[in-house]
């Protein structure tokens, strides 16, 4: 045989051997599934709930108009600091001021009449005391005259007194009696006048009370023409100008609101938390707030209020106010108090809040995408000739095979082994594992299709190389 043919024969034999080896390898790996893996590892984990909203003062007051009229004075401007009970604006009040002046004059007149009547009653009290003293004196004179007359009667019986002297004693006694009756009549007259003056005094006093009540009423009406700040704060909104007319009692009307005053001593971020996250939010939890207008800064805060009413995301109304039954997404209001708000902060600024709901240290964690939920029947080991990554369709009535299990696939001796796990808190990319895994276990993290379809005991091949993506410019 020629050397040339020997070489060709050798090449042919080598080619046949190589093809056989390749075919054998491919046949042995016909059910091998390529997966990406990671390690269950101990680390610190933080659970965060993210929500958006706006900056609001904890307490703010919309000062409305309490009287209708034209604004004559606005005594502050937007951004000014005001004190409690400070007059911030005035409404035209000519008629009310005139009524107050008239009532003040009526009160003064009634008080003058009352004072005069009271002085008259006081003078009559003095006159009564004088008349009583005079009557007592007259009674003494009557008693003395009676005593002298009795003595004269004894002397007259023995003819020891002159007739003229006796007649004088009789006249003196009768004169003293007349004087007493006159003084008693005068006292009765003074008392009668005092009763009349007392009634007149009561009338004047009632007039004073009535006039003062009227003055208080009209003064209250006049006070309503002054807009007064009920709190210490800052003027954050001033929608009206001098000369405009305001009206009272009209809800949501621009003509009924003069200004808004906010108590800036406590600044809050009012955010809306999704209904799926609100159960994890509690009072006192720490929050990091970022304001859109200050993107490079983060402000610390704490949760101080959690709403109990669900708010429809589409309309912003409370779910209890909705007239139709709806399964749309809902939010709950959460109020966060900022610890050290900056001086340049303004109500209404948009913000985002990251609420730290839980923190774990040194716990076993895995990537979230590695966790899956599969049915027991779906996890059965593949039979011969059945694709390893095709979900099993089990036409069985055995309910135990339809039980859903939560777990991960662990690479063990070149095969995928499903392990049921219990989970704890969820972080941004990882989730806490409470049981079922140990630190350092190799788990399957991808692809998503493999995790959702692979079966138990399927042979796997680990390929953790990062695919190269062509970016065409």
Inform me whether the pLDDT recorded for 473 exceeds 60: no
In sequence order, the β-bridge partners of residue 359 are 46
**For residue 311, what are the contacts with CB-CB under 8 A and spacing of at least 6?**
272, 317, 318, 319, 330, 331, 332, 333
Read off the pLDDT of each residue in 242-271 and give the average, rounded to a whole number: 80
Inform me whether the pLDDT recorded for 311 exceeds 70: yes
Q: Which two tokens stand for residue 208?
A: 């004073």
Q: Which two tokens stand for residue 153?
A: 């009667």
| Residue 392 confidence (pLDDT) | 44
Q: Which two tokens stand for residue 217?
A: 């009423």
| Residue 388 confidence (pLDDT) | 53
Nearest to 123 by CA among 133, 111, 131, 113: 131
Inform me whether the pLDDT recorded for 337 exceeds 90: yes
| Residue 160 confidence (pLDDT) | 78
Higher pLDDT pick, 321 / 461: 461
Largest CA distance in the chain: 216
Inform me whether the pLDDT recorded for 361 exceeds 70: yes
Q: How confident is the model at residue 255 (pLDDT cuts 50, 70, 90)?
A: low
Q: Where are the domains of the chain?
A: 33-45+364-462, 96-223, 263-362
Inform me whether the pLDDT recorded for 319 exceeds 90: no
The arrangement of strands across the sheet holding 69-74 comes to 226-228, 87-91, 69-74, 245-246
Q: How confident is the model at residue 20 (pLDDT cuts 50, 70, 90)?
A: low
Q: What is the pLDDT of residues 70-89, one digit of tens each?
A: 999 999 999 899 999 999 99
Q: Comparing 5-9, 18-22, 281-285, 447-451, which segment has the lowest mean pLDDT?
A: 18-22
- Superfamily of the domain at 263-362: Efflux pump adaptor protein, beta barrel domain (2.40.30.170)
Q: What is the pLDDT of residues 22-49, one digit of tens each?
A: 555 454 445 688 899 999 999 999 999 9
Q: What is the pLDDT of residues 107-127, one digit of tens each?
A: 888 888 888 888 888 888 888
> Checking phi first, is residue 38 left (phi over 0); if not, alpha (psi -120 to 50) or beta?
beta
Inform me whether the pLDDT recorded for 346 exceeds 80: yes
Instruction: Say how far apart CA 146 and CA 421 lie, in whole Å.
Output: 129
Nearest to 415 by CA among 372, 379, 376, 469: 379
| Residue 471 confidence (pLDDT) | 47
- Average pLDDT over the chain, rounded to whole? 84
**Arch. (CATH architecture) of 33-45+364-462:** Beta Barrel (2.40)
Inform me whether the pLDDT recorded for 17 exceeds 80: no
Q: Which two tokens stand for residue 86?
A: 């400070």
Higher pLDDT pick, 432 / 17: 432
For the whole prediction, is pTM greater than 0.75? no
Q: Which of 157-166, 316-325, 438-447 has the highest mean pLDDT?
A: 438-447
Higher pLDDT pick, 32 / 3: 32
Q: Comparing 35-39, 175-179, 185-189, 315-319, which segment has the lowest mean pLDDT?
A: 315-319
Q: Which two tokens stand for residue 116?
A: 């005069």
Looking at domain 96-223, its CATH class is: mainly alpha
Q: What DSSP string runs through 328-355?
A: --EEEEEEEEESS--TT--TT-EEEEEE
* 99 secondary structure, DSSP code: H
> By 3-state DSSP, what share of the chain in percent is helix, strand and coil, each rounded to 5?
35, 35, 30
Inform me whether the pLDDT recorded for 184 exceeds 50: yes
Q: Which of 174-188, 249-263, 370-384, 458-472 has the highest mean pLDDT?
A: 174-188
Higher pLDDT pick, 2 / 144: 144
Read off the pLDDT of each residue in 414-431 and give the average, rounded to a whole number: 91
């Amino acid at each position: 045989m020629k050397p040339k043919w020997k070489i060709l024969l050798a090449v042919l034999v080598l080619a046949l051997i190589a093809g056989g080896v390749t075919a054998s390898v491919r046949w042995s790996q016909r059910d091998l599934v390529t997966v990406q893996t990671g390690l269950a590892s101990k680390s610190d984990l933080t659970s965060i709930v993210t929500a958006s909203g706006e900056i609001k003062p904890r307490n703010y007051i919309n000062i409305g108009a309490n009287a209708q009229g034209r604004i004559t004075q606005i005594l502050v401007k937007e951004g000014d600091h005001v004190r409690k009970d400070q007059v911030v604006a005035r409404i035209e009040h000519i008629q009310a001021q005139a009524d107050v002046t008239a009532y003040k004059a009526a009160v003064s007149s009634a008080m003058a009449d009352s004072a005069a009547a009271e002085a008259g009653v006081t003078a009559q009290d003095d006159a009564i005391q004088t008349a009583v003293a005079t009557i007592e004196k007259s009674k003494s004179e009557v008693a003395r005259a009676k005593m002298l007359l009795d003595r004269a009667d004894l002397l007259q019986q023995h003819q020891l007194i002159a007739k003229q002297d006796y007649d004088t004693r009789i006249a003196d006694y009768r004169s003293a009696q007349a004087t007493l009756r006159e003084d008693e009549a005068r006292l009765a007259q003074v008392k009668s006048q005092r009763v009349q003056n007392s009634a007149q005094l009561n009338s004047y006093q009632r007039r004073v009370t009535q006039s003062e009540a009227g003055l208080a009423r009209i003064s209250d009406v006049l006070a309503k023409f002054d807009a007064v700040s009920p709190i210490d704060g800052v003027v954050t909104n001033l929608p009206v100008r001098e000369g405009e007319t305001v009206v009272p009692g009209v809800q949501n009307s621009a003509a009924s609101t003069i200004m808004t005053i906010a108590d800036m001593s406590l600044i809050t971020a009012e955010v809306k938390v999704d209904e799926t996250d609100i159960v994890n939010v509690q009072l006192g939890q720490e929050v990091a707030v970022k304001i859109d207008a200050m993107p490079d800064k983060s402000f610390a805060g704490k949760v101080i209020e959690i709403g109990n009413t669900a708010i429809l995301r589409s309309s912003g109304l409370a779910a209890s106010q909705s007239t139709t039954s709806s399964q749309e997404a809902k939010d709950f209001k959460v109020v966060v108090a900022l610890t050290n708000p900056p001086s340049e902060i303004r109500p209404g600024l948009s913000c985002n809040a990251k609420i730290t709901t839980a923190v774990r240290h040194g716990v076993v964690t895995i990537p979230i995408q590695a966790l899956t939920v599969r049915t027991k029947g779906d996890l059965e080991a593949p039979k011969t000739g059945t694709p390893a990554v095709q979900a099993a369709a089990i036409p069985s009535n055995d309910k135990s095979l339809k039980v859903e299990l939560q777990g991960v696939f662990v690479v063990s001796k070149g095969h995928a082994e499903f392990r049921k796990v219990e989970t704890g808190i969820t972080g941004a990319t990882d989730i806490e594992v409470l049981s079922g895994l140990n630190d350092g276990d190799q788990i399957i993290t991808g692809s998503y299709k493999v995790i959702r379809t692979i079966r138990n005991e399927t042979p796997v091949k680990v390929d953790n190389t990062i695919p190269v993506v062509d970016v065409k410019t």
